[in-house]
Structure 1
Amino acid sequence: MILTNRRHRLIFICLAGMEMAWFTPLLLLLLYAQRRWRGDLALPVPTPLALFGVLWISLILLMLALDVLQKRDLESPRFELSVLALLLLTSLLAIRFGLYTRALLTDGAWLRNTADAIFNFQRGLRPELLFFLTMLFLWQRAASASSRDLGFFSVGVSFRLGILLLIVGGSLLVGVTPQPLAAVQFLWIYFVLGLSAVALSRIDQHATRGYDSAGVMLPTGRLAQLLAIIAGVVGATALLAGWLTPQGQLRLVQQLLPLWLFLAKILRFILDAIFWLVAPVLEWLLELLVRLFRESDLLTRLDGILQNMQVAPLDTQIATQPTPDPIPPWIWVAARYALVLVVLTLMVALVLVVLGRVRRGRSADQDEAAAGEALTLGGSSLRRGLQRLRRLARLVRRYGLGSQLLAAISVQNLYANLTRLARQRGFGRPPALSPDDYLSLLSQAFPGQDAALQRLTLAYMRVHYGDHPVAENELAQLRADFRAIQETPRQENRQPD
């Protein structure tokens, strides 16, 4: 994360800030609801920005702690026990110094209050339980960050999901907080951090493909330029949103009053004309309905049916006798304690499972190499789009429009996905390396799949460099080979530098 992959450090920090930006309004909602439940409106609630800063720094510190534990390469039992000890220690320290700042160090009443708040949750959401649940959530997010995919698509999905959560939490917070602008502040913070994370992940995705850079995120000047652009866009949007207030829109509507009066006159003229045209038809239909009802006995039949209908009285009052509870009270208390222990065990196990999966699948730190990059303003995307169109045009000239063209495109997509999977495992294809020379690196990335890798490579070379079509049965075999390659376990070795 922050220590093990310096190239992605800023993305991790931005993602942590995004999560705390949408989580802070929800936590503030619980704090304000707690004040009303307890009937103590004078109970202090931290300021929104201060609470956001504390949560953001806490999440970053937890991520750093997990990085330190992972770099020490502890064995399986010691690693899980260390994480569990840190989880309990940080949670208790947060409760001790966050709620009982004035208590003596030798006073153990806070421990009793904490245990009572956790196991007797039916008495209400007390501050100790809220602190404990918040720390569990932070640990879960820190553990999930260890296995988070920093690709452009994944970061974009997190950005959109966070916006929805922020809208829900911020909308509810506006109705209960004495500071309605707090939700708007979280919105601008989220957009700055979210746009930064999306832009950096997009740049990193292109940098690892071997286009212009070998691994560094951005030079200092380019990074400052990117952040300045994001700050300018968000700042201009904030100013525009401040100008487009309900009062400003009302003034604009009032200034356009002559236009509305003119449009109202035109609309009234159109409605009068429509009514003048439709009125004779409506009168004729009314006369037709009256004549039909007079000539039929429908009304007489309906009157007879209504007179014959009888409504039976409903006796909804059923006398019930209270029955004594056959279950002793101590069984309910034991069940409540068991439920709390099971929930806590599941939450801690979730954190440990995520960390264990990361330890089994994580690769070594990625090396960094600096390379100069020029500001293209989207020119590189246009250039790559033109290259794709030229490649597609070559395939059309070779195979024409038909099933052979679709098969050739499928083979190229399969090989592109194969190289992407190999690059994720540390065996990327250098731009000057031919596919047959790259086959040895693919064998290291996917051991035991030499035959499948050779078939995919030969099919790609036939399609890309020659005019040999691919049959349907051969394409089905290639797709089965790719699915088998995908299921190959990841190896710990990486491509030597």
Structure 2
Amino acid sequence: MAFRGFSTLRAGLPYAGVLIEFCWLFPWVLLLTGAFYGGAAAPLLGSWTALGLMVLGFVTVRWVLARPWPISTARVAVVAAGFTAGLASVKLTYYPQFAAWDLRWALLLLRAAHDALPEITPPVVGALMAALLWWRGIVLGEREFSHFEIDRQYRRGVAWSIFFVLLYAIYGDTRGFALAQVAPTYLLAFFSFGLTALAVARLIGIWQETLADEDQALVMNRHWLLLLLGVVGLILSLAMAVSGIVSVEFRPMLLLVFRPLEPVLEFVFYLVFVVAMVIARVILLVISRLPFRGGLADRPAVTPPSFAELFKDLPPQVVSSARWGMVLAIIALLVLLVALAVVRARRRQKKRDEDERESVWSAEELLGGLGAMWRKFLSRFRVPQRVHEGPGVGAIRAIYRELLRVGAAAGIPRFGHETPDEYQPRLSQYLPNHVEEVGALTGIYIQVRYAGHQATEEDVRTSQDGLARIKQSARDRPVNPCHLRGCAIMFGTQVNRIRPMTGTSTRSECSERAAIRCEAAATERRMDPGGAD
């Protein structure tokens, strides 16, 4: 029983996240309606319509992501569903007199969008609000809801709710808040559902971590579930009982609380607006100081024409084309936002794992990442400079190349996957009397080639003496012609001119031409164009 109960709660947790988002977002919809059209206008979208758009967007993106569809098909499906749902919500809100099959309302909506400037009609703003709510539903649908996600969503809602309450306490008697008198009800619902969702998410997290049976884990006991349901019922009951009183007496109570802080809050908002005004005036001042041709500066100052007067001076075809272009640009922007949300959701689904991590934002990591991106961008335009090598470095590398030629001529070439340390034992087996010289040459080469060591004259002289002894010993060593044949095949050298031998012989008896080919092939394969090996 407990298992089924917690499974049901876990399945319903994402929908609680959508409800939390709606409860703090809808008061801003009411504020926007009052700011544009005053208190006599109806809300841009009804509460149930707005909630339905968010839930439908949430369900749609989850359903699409669960299908094995390509990303292009997923985009088209989500955009088409959002377009249909948004138009349906606008039709039900602003054009209820038309039948479902009568598309004249769509033409009226297009005409209203075309005539949006200088005055924007409610159907156009309602359509934009429907697109915003649908997009928020898609964003929520791409997330994996856990205790950390609910906590982050709750904190974001608290911040926006506090900002709304401060504005409501100071400017509640203005026209913008005429429709927002019922906003406290939604804010109370936000806190109630948010705290409840936090408790449920935490219980689910504890239940998943224990993975115990009902007898061993108290978190799966039915008494815990009953206690949780009782707390939830108490919170919801108090919210419903108080909402009717608070919606009327909310602002006077807030004024009593914030009256000592009212001058401070007004000063803060005034300071923000003053800073914005100063920035705008600076921009206008800079533009006014720009030189203009044609004697425009000598003309007397006149009052700038209004937006409507500018439209009157333009040809009707230009104005109409500009309006339709604006409508198409807004639609394309909305489609792009929805498509990007679907792409992000698909990527998150591919990278999903079972570990839950809390997202911690760090300013240092952000600045460090931006700095790394900037340095990487600048590095593309820099010409790589070759490191200057001293005479000792070049001499040591030339000596080691001679050592490689000795090994290649003896049929012991250095393979492409071998490092100098890995090649040293094989070459030492061929020259058992010069193990120390081979090791010394390899060591000094590694120091010079990879560690940036600057070889001295003593190092160069010692390496030359060791190489001379190795070459003298290699001339007197017998060479197996099969080694030469293998060397030639390995480095792409033809072997049809190598004189076959049945036994062993000295190097002077071997084909000198084949030995030269082996040395040249080894040099070409092991050396880089600048002399690196």
Provide TM-score, normalisation by structure 2: 0.46
Query: Rg larger in 1 or in 2?
Result: 2
